[in-house]
Structure 1
């Protein structure tokens, strides 16, 4: 008596289809704008959920996450410096710079252009 072969292993979860180009642009724009309100959390969620759905959203969500983590580190450096007075000015400068770069990145993403924010440490790719 021979045993029938075992069934093939089931997929652990269904593979999501790629996003349409206009959806990728929308999510990339929202990822950059989420940094204004949610810091790095919005970019992290989009990166983890949508990174495999297209190259455009992967690049923009990674760029937004890297930029937000860089801004967070800069803010943490400014906090101890506020005890000697200069930290407040530096923290204000970091905040204005982050706001401007996030808006520029969101505009570039909405136009379908690839963009990497300047002065950003690359943590994820």
Structure 2
């Protein structure tokens, strides 16, 4: 009897709960388009994918990006109104910087298959 006859096959790899690469890429694009197109890019991605699977990764992340970009639009409007007393300029600069940094962090997390939640976002799209 050879020593290889008693060896059993290795167990199958664990089932991955991670999103498929295509969905992760679309979620990455949704977050990064928010930097360039404000809420329009995430809105288009969400509208394209919303009927495919209600609990899919790309739908969840595009809604999150859309909600965050809508929140930033509200902050920019308040900043423009408050620019009369100079503080609005600083509000808009901080909002722009926060939007850029948080969108990049969200894109990296989405590409890794992790669901990202922005620290401040009005959840208008549920």
Which TM-score band applies after superposition, normalised by the shorter structure?
Answer: 0.7 to 0.9
In structure 1, stretches of 5+ residues that fail to align are: 1-19
* CA distance in structure 1 between the partners assigned to 2:36 and 2:84 by the alignment: 26
Counterpart for residue 67 of structure 1: 68
Aligned residues: 106
Residue 116 of structure 1: how far off its partner (Å)? 1.1
Residue 117 of structure 1: how far off its partner (Å)? 0.7
Residue 28 of structure 1: how far off its partner (Å)? 0.2
Q: Could you state the TM-score of these two structures normalised by the residue count of structure 1?
A: 0.82
In the TM superposition, 1:37-116 aligns within 5 A as 37-54=36-53, 55-116=56-117
**Runs of 4 or more consecutive aligned structure 1 residues displaced over 6 Å after TM superposition:** none
Cα contact 1:51–1:61 (8 A) shared by 2:
no
In structure 2, stretches of 5+ residues that fail to align are: 1-18
Residue 51 of structure 1: how far off its partner (Å)? 2.0
Residue 115 of structure 1: how far off its partner (Å)? 0.9
Residue 74 of structure 1: how far off its partner (Å)? 0.4
Cα contact 1:80–1:87 (8 A) shared by 2:
yes
Q: Could you state the TM-score of these two structures normalised by the residue count of structure 2?
A: 0.81
For residues 39-76 of structure 1, the C-alpha deviation after alignment (integer angstroms, 9 at most, x for no partner) is 00000000001123341011100000000000000000
Cα contact 1:25–1:111 (8 A) shared by 2:
yes
